[in-house]
Chains A and B, each alone.
Chain A
Amino acid sequence: MLEIAIKGSKKYWLWIALLLAVMGAGAIAYADQFLNGLVITGMSRDVSWGFYIANFTFLVGVAAGGVMVVIPYYLHDYERFHRITILGEFLAVACLVMCLLFIVVDLGQPIRMLNVLLYPTPHSMLFWDMIVLNGYLFLNIVVGWKVLEAERNQIEPVWWTKPLVYLSIPFAIGIHTVTAYLYCGLPGRGYWLTAILAPRFLASAFAAGPAFLIILCYIIKKFTKFDPGWEAMQTLSKIVCYAIIANLFFFACEVFVVYYSGIPGHLSHMQYLLFGLHGHNMMVPWMWSALILMGLGAIFLLIPKLRNNRALLPVTCAMIFFGAWIDKALGMIAGGFVPSPLHHVNEYAPTLQEGIIAMGVYGAGFFVLTILYKLATTVKEEVRG
């Protein structure tokens, strides 16, 4: 089936070349980091996780969001998602590849990363995160591939894909729950120490993942002969709508608890994000933009006339996607580490090189996504035509 990927239009090859260039730039920047250490990043003793882990956290969410097409189709026989289920699964694969790459580029000693397997440590949440991420990646590759292959041959998928699909549902919930547990089980980090972190992560994932899928559907419709179906996109947009409202509601719950209780160790982080602390306010414009983007996006999706507007829908989805990215990637890291456990306020901003390495990882993810989507759309074109 892979032979499909090496037959394409000029535009396809131009896009592939662009991605390879971005990956190349990232690889060169990473080679320097590999040799000289994470000194090239903007991270510090106080803010010891940065842009890499921020993007990792967000992309775990986008990967988990894929389950929002799997559940309706496989559990509720929602036929309209028949065409896009594979897109959700392949999006998850690309996102998980990026997640794993972000973890690797964040390690101080990447050569030793197999130590996590050599010395399995069940009391570390990172151990479980590794298991669920790789498990979910494996499940999505196998299921996506087998189902697509069956579709191409116009036969029923082999029987054992069904149990794997059902297994992938708890795994999708699992990857984002365990990723939240990385944060919310730590003492002394007031912004993260909240039981609603995992639900909040899931809500934002179920908004950002499908929102991105809708944008991808637009792109597919424009560049291929495959039509994912307007009705499926409409259903997806309703899912995004309720998920983003849940996310905003959970955030409001956090704000209430923090400000009404007034406990300094919890309050100061939220204060830093929303209003600035002791004159440090780098995150303030970002956080308010995130809230406005997500809030407006929710309103646009709630009103049927605006939701049904074909021109507005991708814009709304982009707003929600970037709003969630700021909130969960940048805000989660900055809010957790600033102020420090000793209440020093040291801010963090990624360096250019750190950004290039991150772009390289995104390039690799889009490369995987492009290849997989090329396979999926071509097969679907073949079968229909």
Chain B
Amino acid sequence: MMIKSRRSFLKVAGIAAIGMGAAPVMNLAASDSHGSTQPKTAKNEEALHAKRWGMVIDTSKLTEEVVEAVKKACHKSHNVPDFNIEPDAEKYSGNRPARDGQEIKWIWDEHFHYAFPDKEDEFLAEKFHDLPFLVTCNHCKNPPCVQACPTQATFKREDGIVLMDYHRCIGCRFCMAACPYGSRNFNFTDPRPFIEETDPDFPTRTKGVVEKCNLCAERLAKGEQPHCVEASEGAIVVGDLEDPDSEIRSLLAEHYTIRRKQSLGTEPSVYYIV
């Protein structure tokens, strides 16, 4: 058995080696009649484009149910772990639960005075006091996290979306110190055992890397609206800030909006109608 399997392995390996040697020649021969051998990248015709993506959140439409639905839709589809669940003992053994405060959240609710600490007001209208304000990554025009990252693992795309490369991140957490909105998360432990139901359409992360909201870049590329927009019952609108005819620009034209910590000059792309 052993000998046979070794022989068959050698045979396969030999054929493979010949194949590898021959491949460039074959490709050369093929290239004339069948075009380039380079892999082709195709652009999805339906992809949504913007010069600068932005978000408008109408706080008058935020109820506790909407907030819960938004958080759930985002976290479930992005495989954001929940450290309160008990991991599957059969599949995962020896994993350690995260400590208090080592949680991961991409979009979550805060009270007004936490979401807008510099707009604290002694006589704030009662209706704002207990209103759940949704906060997330602001996809800033001048993102301090991108400036801080020593490996370009976090970077700003041309359309303004600030993304993370989970495979390049060294886990130095400089970006977390730099973000003035507390929007970044660090995987203190392996998140996989704490994902109740893994969505195969989105990658899971490993321990030791930073992650955050990606404005559903993977959905925009397919021509779909972000999860939070779909779950928000009209409270969240995402669109092109630089297109004067876009829906979010007309919302901004009609309403008075505020942004978080505007004085810092990071130019957040998330606007709140209050």
Binding site for B on A (CB under 8 A): 36-49, 103, 106-110, 112-113, 115-116, 118-119, 121, 123-127, 130, 182-183, 186-189, 264-265, 336-337, 340-344, 346
Q: Mark B130-147, 1 if CB is under 8 A from A, else 0.
A: 000001000000001001
Q: Are B151 and A40 in contact (CB under 8 A)?
A: no
Q: Does B9 contact A (CB under 8 A)?
A: no
Binding site for A on B (CB under 8 A): 95-96, 98-104, 110, 113-115, 117-118, 120, 135, 144, 147-153, 168-174, 176-182, 185-190, 206-210, 261, 264-266
Residue from B96, B153, B187, B264 in contact with A188 in the complex, judged by beta carbons closer than 8 Å? B264
30 A-B residue pairs with CB within 8 Å: A37-B189, A38-B186, A39-B188, A45-B102, A45-B182, A46-B182, A47-B101, A49-B177, A103-B172, A108-B169, A108-B208, A109-B171, A115-B150, A115-B170, A116-B151, A119-B151, A124-B150, A126-B148, A126-B172, A188-B180, A188-B181, A189-B180, A264-B117, A264-B120, A265-B118, A341-B180, A341-B181, A342-B110, A343-B113, A344-B114
The 6 closest A-B pairs by CB, nearest first: A108-B171, A188-B180, A108-B208, A44-B101, A37-B207, A39-B189
Interchain CA distance A112-B166 in the complex, whole Å: 11
What are the residues of chain A within 8 A of B113 when measuring CB–CB?
343
Closest to A126 in B: B150
Q: Are A186 and B151 in contact (CB under 8 A)?
A: no
Take A46-B101, A48-B177, A109-B171 as given contacts and tell me if A124 and B149 are in contact as well, using a CB distance cutoff of 8 Å.
yes
B144, B171, B264, most chain A CB atoms within 10 A: B171
Interchain CA distance A45-B187 in the complex, whole Å: 9
Q: Are A124 and B148 in contact (CB under 8 A)?
A: yes
Residue from A37, A109, A126, A183 in contact with B188 in the complex, judged by beta carbons closer than 8 Å? A37
Interchain CA distance A17-B181 in the complex, whole Å: 48
Interchain CA distance A127-B117 in the complex, whole Å: 32
Least CB distance from A340 to B in Å reads 6
What are the residues of chain A within 8 A of B149 when measuring CB–CB?
121, 124
Residue from B179, B187, B265 in contact with A341 in the complex, judged by beta carbons closer than 8 Å? B179
Q: Are A39 and B150 in contact (CB under 8 A)?
A: no
Chain B facing A: main interface SS: loop
Q: Are A124 and B174 in contact (CB under 8 A)?
A: yes
Residue from B95, B98, B180, B209 in contact with A108 in the complex, judged by beta carbons closer than 8 Å? B209
Take A39-B102, A116-B150, A124-B174 as given contacts and tell me if A187 and B144 are in contact as well, using a CB distance cutoff of 8 Å.
yes
Q: Are B208 and A109 in contact (CB under 8 A)?
A: yes
Q: Are A188 and B261 in contact (CB under 8 A)?
A: yes
Q: Are B185 and A45 in contact (CB under 8 A)?
A: yes
Closest to B191 in A: A37
What are the residues of chain A within 8 A of B182 when measuring CB–CB?
45-46, 340-342
Least CB distance from A261 to B in Å reads 14
Q: Are B172 and A107 in contact (CB under 8 A)?
A: yes
Q: Are B148 and A48 in contact (CB under 8 A)?
A: no
Given contacts A39-B98, A44-B101, A264-B117, 18 further A-B contacts (CB under 8 A): A38-B171, A38-B186, A38-B207, A39-B96, A39-B99, A48-B173, A48-B177, A108-B173, A112-B170, A119-B151, A124-B149, A187-B178, A188-B179, A189-B177, A337-B177, A342-B117, A342-B135, A342-B181
Q: Are B168 and A112 in contact (CB under 8 A)?
A: yes
Interchain CA distance A330-B208 in the complex, whole Å: 23
Chain A facing B: main interface SS: loop
Take A37-B190, A112-B168 as given contacts and tell me if A343 and B114 are in contact as well, using a CB distance cutoff of 8 Å.
yes
Interchain CA distance A123-B110 in the complex, whole Å: 32
Take A39-B98, A126-B172 as given contacts and tell me if A45 and B103 are in contact as well, using a CB distance cutoff of 8 Å.
yes
B102, B115, B207, most chain A CB atoms within 10 A: B102
Closest to A125 in B: B148
Interchain CA distance A342-B99 in the complex, whole Å: 20
Residue from B101, B102, B173, B185 in contact with A49 in the complex, judged by beta carbons closer than 8 Å? B173
What are the residues of chain B within 8 A of A110 when measuring CB–CB?
170
What are the residues of chain B within 8 A of A265 when measuring CB–CB?
117-118
A44, A48, A106, A265, most chain B CB atoms within 10 A: A48
Interchain CA distance A125-B264 in the complex, whole Å: 19
Least CB distance from A136 to B in Å reads 18
Q: Are B207 and A36 in contact (CB under 8 A)?
A: yes
Take A39-B102, A124-B149 as given contacts and tell me if A107 and B177 are in contact as well, using a CB distance cutoff of 8 Å.
no
Take A36-B96, A108-B171 as given contacts and tell me if A186 and B208 are in contact as well, using a CB distance cutoff of 8 Å.
no
Interchain CA distance A112-B95 in the complex, whole Å: 23
A39, A116, A124, A265, most chain B CB atoms within 10 A: A39
Q: Are B147 and A115 in contact (CB under 8 A)?
A: no
Residue from A36, A44, A107, A342 in contact with B102 in the complex, judged by beta carbons closer than 8 Å? A44
Q: Are A44 and B100 in contact (CB under 8 A)?
A: yes
Interchain CA distance A189-B175 in the complex, whole Å: 13
Q: Are B171 and A186 in contact (CB under 8 A)?
A: no
Closest to A343 in B: B117
Q: Are B170 and A108 in contact (CB under 8 A)?
A: yes
What are the residues of chain B within 8 A of A188 when measuring CB–CB?
144, 179-181, 261, 264
Q: Are B172 and A123 in contact (CB under 8 A)?
A: no
Closest to B266 in A: A187
Closest to A344 in B: B114
Interchain CA distance A340-B206 in the complex, whole Å: 25
Closest to B113 in A: A343
What are the residues of chain B within 8 A of A336 when measuring CB–CB?
177
Q: Are B150 and A107 in contact (CB under 8 A)?
A: no
